[in-house]
Amino acid sequence: MVAIVLIHMVQVFLFGAHKYPRELTWIIGVFLLLMTLGMAFTGQIMRFDQDAYWGLGIGASIASRVPIIGPFAVKLMLGGPIIAGATLSRFFALHVFVIPGLLIGFVCFTF
Amino acid sequence: MVLKLGINEWPMPGRVVKRATYEAEYHALTKSEGAPFVPYAVWKDMFFAAFIILAIAACAYYFGPFGPTGQPDPTIIQTAPKPDYFFLWLYALLSLLPPSLETPFLLIVPPLVIIGLILLPFLSGEGERAGSADLLQLSPCS
């Protein structure tokens, strides 16, 4: 999905389809790319293996470095102070409900 | 928006997009050369949607599921975890960057890239549609 989205984006750019009057379509496309990367990251967590665990650790460490809201962002992301069952539930909800819902919404908007 | 603005026309050398005249030109073009999406173009979408779904199904059949790669246990340190291919570049970059640059890089570069992507149609919203013309227009040499 990430590869196909990137190929499509390159094609849109090379065909100049981001130019007037379709600027907003491109901007929604950028959000769709971010959503797709979000799907990829949360999907990787769904395996809940070593890669998922340490990937989450890196994600949480990146979030913790954001000034001011860092600790809050980590707690929101992990559902507690450590990577545990609550973390998996949160990422399951993101992967299955929240991000697909946003994706469908944005795709409908581009039509 | 596709329904309202129509599908982007084929890029042609010499055909320049100008805000003032584009819509009239596009309507003239759709009248002279345009074909309705159904039934003339819908088969392409259906064909490629089917092709992609079959390709994914074929990958699932031939390669099977990926992982799980081991217990998600922080006490096991004899492990070399790495992300899937789409984040490998970030993993490689973070392992190569000096530690002092990690935080500034992580907090500054991704927002700049996203802002750049969002601003792209406003930086090059007019001119020829061909990507080569666009790259020239955006390059500092122009």
Q: What is the mean pLDDT of residues A72-89?
A: 93
Q: Which two tokens stand for residue A27?
A: 């901007």
The closest alpha carbon to B123, from A11, A26, A111, belongs to A26
Structural contact between residues A16 and B17, judged by C-beta atoms closer than 8 angstroms: yes
DSSP B9: P
The closest alpha carbon to B66, from A23, A52, A69, A99, belongs to A52
How far is the alpha carbon of B87 from chain A, nearest alpha carbon, in Å? 8
3-state secondary structure of B79: coil
Rounded to an integer, what distance in angstroms lies between the CA atom of residue B86 and that of residue B89? Answer: 7
DSSP bridge pairs for B16: B128
DSSP bridge pairs for B128: B16
Residue identified by tokens 């949480």 is A60
Type of residue at A70: G
Across the interface, whether the CB atoms of B130 and A55 are under 8 A apart is answered no
Interface test with A, best of B48, B53, B86 (most A CBs within 10 A): B86
Prediction ipTM score: 0.87
Percentage of chain B exceeding pLDDT 90: 30
Across the interface, whether the CB atoms of A40 and B84 are under 8 A apart is answered yes
Rounded to an integer, what distance in angstroms lies between the CA atom of residue A16 and that of residue B7? Answer: 12
Residues 79-118 of B with CB under 8 A from A: 79, 81-84, 86-87, 94, 103, 106-107, 114, 117-118
pTM equals: 0.87
Does residue B28 register a pLDDT over 80?
Answer: yes
How far is the alpha carbon of B83 from chain A, nearest alpha carbon, in Å? 6
Across the interface, whether the CB atoms of B86 and A47 are under 8 A apart is answered no
Q: Which residues of chain B have a CB within 8 Å of the CB of A22? A: 1, 5, 8, 121
Does residue B17 register a pLDDT over 80?
Answer: yes
C-alpha distances in Å from residue B39, one per residue of A61, B36, B44, B46 = 52, 7, 10, 11
Q: Which residues of chain A have a CB within 8 Å of the CB of B118? A: 27, 30
Nearest-Cα residue of chain B relative to residue A57: B74
Angle at A100 between CA A98 and CA A101, to 5 degrees: 65
Q: Which residues of chain A have a CB within 8 Å of the CB of B66? A: 47
B34-62 pLDDT, tens per residue? 888 888 888 998 999 999 999 999 999 99
Structural contact between residues A78 and A56, judged by C-beta atoms closer than 8 angstroms: yes
> With helix as H, strand as E and coil as C, how does chain A read?
CHHHHHHHHHHHHHCCCCCCCCHHHHHHHHHHHHHHHHHHHHHHHHCCCHHHHHHHHHHHHHHHCCCCCHHHHHHHHHCCCCCCHHHHHHHHHHHHHHHHHHHHHHHHHHC
Q: Which two tokens stand for residue A106?
A: 């944005």
Residue identified by tokens 């600027």 is A23
Q: Which two tokens stand for residue B127?
A: 């001119």
Identify which has the larger pLDDT, A3 or B66: A3
A 10 A CB-CB count for A81 gives: 9
A5 touches B: beta carbon within 8 Å: no
Residues 6+ apart with CB under 8 A from B22: A20, A21
| Facing residue for B8 by CB, picked from A15, A55, A109 | A15
Q: What is the mean pLDDT of residues A97-107?
A: 96
Residues 17-76 of A with CB under 8 A from B: 17-28, 30, 33-34, 37, 40-41, 44, 47-55, 58, 62, 65-67
A12-65 pLDDT, tens per residue? 988 888 888 889 999 999 999 999 999 999 999 998 989 899 999 999 999 999
